[in-house]
Structure 1
Amino acid sequence: MSGSFSRRAFGLGSLACGFLGSAYAQADDNAPAPDKQDAATPPQLERILCYVGGYTQHGPPGGNGDGITVFEMDRKTGALNHLNTFTDVASPSFIAFSPDKLFLYAVNEINDFEGKNTGAVTAFSVNHGTGALTKLNTVSSGGADPAHLSVHPSGKYVMVANYTGGNFALLRVQKDGSLGQMTTLIHNTGPRMPDRASDNPPGNFAISDHSGSHPHMIHADPSGRFVAVADAGLDRMYVYGINLETGRLFPAKKPFTTMTAGSAPRHFQFSADGLRLYILCEQDSKVVVANFDAKTGDIAPQQAVSSLTAHFRGSTLAAGILFSPDEHFLYVSNRLGDSLAVFQVAKDGGLTLVDEIWTHADYGRALKFDPSGSYLFVANQRSDSITSFRVDKTTGKIGFTWDFTPIGSPTCFEFLTLPA
Structure 2
Amino acid sequence: MNHTQRRSSSRVKHVILLCLVAVLTACGGGGGGGGGFLPIIPVTPVAPPETPPATPPETPPETPPEAPPQAYTVGGSVTGLIGSGLVLQNNGTDDLPVAADGTFIFSTQLATGANYAVTVKSQSKILTRVCTVTDGTGTIANAAVTNVAVKCTSPPARFAYVASTATNELTGYIIDPSSGALSAMSAPPVATGNTPIFTVLHPSGRFAYVLNVSGDSISSFTIDGTSGALGPMTVPVTSTPPFPVAMAVEPTGRFAYVITTTGISSYTIDQTTGALSATGTPVALASPLGPQLMTADPTGRFVYAISAGTNEVLSFAINQTTGDLTANGTPATAASSALGIAVDPTGRFAYVPDPSSSTIAMFSIDATSGALTPLAIPGINTPNPVGLLTVAPSGRFAYAADYVGGQVLIYAIDATSGALSSAPVSSVAAGINPQYIALDPSGRFAYVQNASGATVLGFNIDADSGALSPMAVPPFALPFGASLFVLSR
Cα deviations by residue, 1:168-187 (Å, 9 ceiling, x for unpaired): 22122234211112434234
2:302 paired residue among 212, 223, 226? 226
Alignment partner, residue 394 of structure 1: 464
CA contact (8 A) 1:166 1:215 kept: no
Match of 1:156 in 2: 254
Structure-1 residue corresponding to 2:403: 335
| Counterpart selection for 1:122 from 208, 211, 219 | 219
Matched residue SS, 2:277:
strand
Provide the C-alpha distance between the structure 2 equivalents of 1:71 and 1:51, rounded to a whole number of angstroms: 5
The one-letter code of the counterpart of 1:75 is: P
1:50 counterpart (159, 166, 169)? 159
Q: Which residue of 1 is the match for residue 357 of structure 2?
A: 284
CA positional deviation for 1:145: 4.3
Deviation at 1:292, TM superposition (A): 0.7
1:350-389 correspondence to structure 2 within 5 Å: 350-354=419-423, 355-362=426-433, 364-382=434-452, 384-389=454-459
Change (3 A) 1:307 1:131: farther
Instruction: Judge conservation of contact 1:96–1:149 (CA < 8 Å) in 2.
Output: yes
Contact 2:252 2:300 in 1 (8 A): yes
8 Å contact kept, 2:397–2:412: yes
Say if 1:304 and 1:153 are closer, same or farther in 2 by CA, change over 3 A. Answer: same
The match for 1:321 among 382, 389, 405 is 389
Aligned mates of 2:248, 2:264 — CA distance in 1: 11
Select 1:135's aligned residue among 229, 232, 245. Answer: 232
* Residues 58-114 of structure 1: CA deviation (Å, up to 9, x unaligned): xxxxxxx55222111223433211014423114433222223222122212x23x2x
- In 2, the alpha carbon distance for the partners of 1:102 and 1:291 equals 32
Q: Are residue 258 (structure 1) and residue 258 (structure 2) matched?
A: no
> How far apart, CA to CA, are the structure 1 residues paired with 2:467 and 2:157?
23
Percent identity for Structure 1 against Structure 2: 19
Deviation of the 1:385 alpha carbon: 0.7
CA deviation map 1:381-404 (0-9, x unaligned): 416111112222222121233621
Greater mean alpha carbon deviation, residues 291-300 or residues 67-76? 67-76
1:53 Cα deviation (Å)?
Answer: 1.9
Of 274, 280, 291 in structure 2, the residue corresponding to residue 183 of structure 1 is 280
Give the TM-score, by structure 2 length: 0.61
- Pairwise CA distance, 1:143: 2.9
Unaligned 5+ segments in structure 1 are: 1-45, 58-64, 114-118, 191-211
1:71 corresponding residue in structure 2: 173
- d(CA) in 1 for partners of 2:231, 2:222: 5
Amino acid paired to 2:191: D
Residue in 1 that maps onto 2:311: 235
Q: Could you tell me which amino acid in structure 2 is paired with residue 416 of structure 1?
A: S
Q: Distance in 1 between matches of 2:275 and 2:232?
A: 9
Which residue is 2:197 aligned to? Answer: 93
C-alpha displacement at 1:371, in angstroms? 4.2
Q: CA separation in 2, counterparts of 1:389 and 1:129?
A: 25
Number of residues paired by the alignment? Answer: 324
8 Å CA contact retained: 1:286, 1:304: no
Q: Distance in 1 between matches of 2:300 and 2:393?
A: 20
Report 1 or 2 for greater relative contact order, CA contacts < 8 Å, sequence distance ≥ 6.
1
Flag the structure with larger Rg.
Answer: 2
Q: Matched residues in 2 for 1:97 and 1:392: separation?
A: 26
Distance 1:100 1:48, change over 3 A: closer
Which amino acid in structure 2 is aligned with residue 289 of structure 1? M
Q: 1:278–1:289: 8 Å Cα contact kept in structure 2?
A: yes
How far apart in 1 are the matches of 2:370 and 2:181?
A: 41
Deviation at 1:243, TM superposition (A): 2.4
Paired with 1:289 and 1:222, the residues of 2 have a C-alpha distance of 17
- Contact in 2 for aligned 1:51/1:68 (Cα 8 Å): no
Distance 2:188 2:197 in 1: 15
SS in 1 for 2:179: coil
Distance in 2 (CA, whole Å) between partners of 1:246 and 1:370 is 31
Structure 2 gaps of 5+ residues are 1-154
3-state secondary structure, aligned to 2:456? strand
Asked if 2 retains the 8 angstrom alpha-carbon contact of 1:320 and 1:366, the reply is: yes
Structure 1 partner of 2:101: none
Q: CA deviation at 1:295?
A: 1.0
Asked whether the equivalents of residues 366 and 411 of structure 1 are also in contact (C-alpha less than 8 Å), the reply is no
Counterpart residue identity of residue 131, structure 1: G
Distance in 1 (CA, whole Å) between partners of 2:429 and 2:310 is 31
Q: Which residue of 2 aligns with 1:4?
A: none
Query: Does residue 248 of structure 1 match 2:361?
Result: no
